[in-house]
Amino acid sequence: MAKKPPKPIDQDRVVYSEFGNPEVFERAVPDLPPNQQNLRIQVSRKGRGGKTVSIVSGFQGKPETLSDLAKKLKAQCGTGGAVKEDAIEIQGDHAQKLLQILTGLGYKAKISGG
């Protein structure tokens, strides 16, 4: 059986691709000043094997700024933590302490949940 000849390339076809264009994936993130940020502090134990974490959510800004804020909060609380999906998780029940720290830094923060 003979090989089929390759199909000719049709130059009239329209090809659309965004994958090579990095500007498409970069979205403008508004970097709001601290006094315009409405942060929520929650204490949760769900999905963590009974361990308690304090979650700070509602941050609007660049990921670098969020990481810097998480680093400050972890140092002030003396515990570990992580940044996950635009929220800061601090190990342990530190809701009151986080509220004092965030208001001291100029953020509008509020404890939500039970």
* Statement: residue 105 has pLDDT above 70: yes
Q: What is the mean pLDDT of residues 80-107?
A: 95
* This prediction's pTM: 0.73
Residue 52 has pLDDT above 70, yes or no: yes
Tokens of 81: 């933590």
Domains and CATH numbers, the chain: 32-111 (3.30.780.10)
CA-based torsion, 65, 69, 74, 80: positive or negative: negative
- Token readout for 78 is 């003396």
Is the pLDDT reported for residue 47 higher than 90? Answer: no
Question: Is 17 in contact with 87 (CB distance < 8 Å)?
Answer: no
Average pLDDT, the chain: 86
